[in-house]
Amino acid sequence: MLKNIKNVIDKINRKPLEPRKAYDIWSETYDTENDNLVFKLEEEILDSLFKKADLSRKLVLDYGCGTGRNWERLLSFHPEKITGCDISPKMLGRLKVKYPAIDIYVIKKNSSLPLKPNSFDFILSTLVVAQINNLKEVFCEWNRLLKPGGKILITDLHPTVLSAGGKRTFEKDDRTYEVKNYIHPIEEIKKICGNLNIEVTGLEERLISETSIDFYKRKNALHIYKRFSGMPLVYGMLIEKKDETNKY
């Protein structure tokens, strides 16, 4: 009885968590996430967009790298070096256990990193963008860190599904936690890129379609399938910084 009352109060009090706090909690179980539709659809998008990015002997920054979910794949392209950064010390702690020798940075108050301009050939940021409040500031920092001719690859939950009430949640210790999101429409991202004179050269979207219905059945979540069916769930974008030195 007491437990039930506590659960009800818990539910009423539960607000979306700020990302740093949320991921410090999620870090313990993040790598054990399986049967995750977002990861599955995102993988298809990455397969397609990575084909347009040659990472061999490149300097790569993974911005919001978390526990390094994509690092095995990144390493298979033989980059020169991968650097990770994130706001969650505990997610980075997990990454460091897997890759002890790497350089990592904890992002503190603002989005800037103590690194020189033109430090990277490629910036990856997967499933992070909608947790960033001031996206313009972060794109400016990416543009500063990126060499001319470099590329940025982002993926995330689609703004359409977030605008329709979709949430980023995770389960831990019989509780459901929600991470706070900021909705950045695709057009807003394109506009930020346009203002920085960096070009969107690839956009991929994956919808919640009939092929995902079994996933929702397994999760006992057919009501969610019905609500969001037909909407894009995940997107990926490839962005390029022109190399003006090659212009003439």
Residues forming the site for ligand SAM (CB under 6 A): 19, 23, 64-66, 69-70, 86-88, 91, 107, 126-128, 131-132
Q: Least CB distance from residue 210 to ligand SAM, whole Å?
A: 26
Q: Least CB distance from residue 195 to ligand SAM, whole Å?
A: 20
Which amino acid belongs to residue 60? V
Q: Least CB distance from residue 86 to ligand SAM, whole Å?
A: 5
Question: Nearer to ligand SAM by C-beta: 92 or 198?
Answer: 92
Q: Is the dihedral of CA 36, 63, 247, 193 positive or negative?
A: positive
CA atoms within 13 A on the CB side of 77: 22
Give the contacts of 178 (CB within 8 A, at least 6 positions apart): 14, 15, 16, 17, 22, 167, 168, 169
Tokens of 16: 């979306």
Question: Nearer to ligand SAM by C-beta: 104 or 193?
Answer: 104
Q: Least CB distance from residue 118 to ligand SAM, whole Å?
A: 21
Question: Nearer to ligand SAM by C-beta: 7 or 169?
Answer: 169
Q: Least CB distance from residue 72 to ligand SAM, whole Å?
A: 12
Question: Nearer to ligand SAM by C-beta: 65 or 161?
Answer: 65
Query: 96: exposed, middle or buried (C-beta count within 10 Å: 0-12, 13-18, 19+)?
Result: middle
Question: Nearer to ligand SAM by C-beta: 17 or 213?
Answer: 17
